Amino acid sequence: MKDYIDISKYLNKIIPSHIYVFYEPLSPLFKIKKYDTKVFIASRSVGKSYTMGAITLTLARIQPNLRIGYFLPTDQQLKLTVEETFNKIINNSPNLLKMYRNLSQDKIRVYTKKFINNSVIYFRHQIVKTEDEMALKIRGAHPDIVVFDECQD
């Protein structure tokens, strides 16, 4: 029995290959193990945020009741990443869109993505004035998985 889940085998069943193309050198990122820490370092414009978006959305789709905290440095980066990555993937992936449940008046929410299997992705920005404020950003959501994107900022 494997001690990890390889989400690459679910990827193109959930996200069409014309939306996200699996790139073999990134395969270690798709092997998720409990209590594991992964660091993804790469040069600009290789699709780091898009890959993390595909992984996060696939996990939320296949794992019921999963709580994911997705953190970016600023509110502006958060909104841009949600719009250009997460919303693009959701809107162009029928198997994700039918599981997505917080569509209201044709607007997709920015700070929370909820799915009918009770999985939730909470988006928060990291730049705060005090350590207490950072703790407040994480507290309350009780994420099972935490993703920090754009950490060099």
DSSP state of 51: H
pLDDT digit string, tens, across residues 65-110: 999 999 888 888 888 899 999 999 999 999 888 888 765 544 556 7
Which of 33-37, 105-109, 110-114, 115-119 is the most confident on average?
115-119
pLDDT value for 3: 78
Residue 131 has pLDDT above 50, yes or no: yes
pLDDT band at 153 (very low <50, low <70, confident <90, very high): very low
**Which residue carries 């992964």 as its tokens?**
38
Q: How many other β-carbons are positioned within 10 Å of the β-carbon of residue 50?
A: 17
State how far the alpha carbon of 112 is from the alpha carbons of 70, 86, 107, 108, 124, in Å. Answer: 10, 11, 12, 9, 9
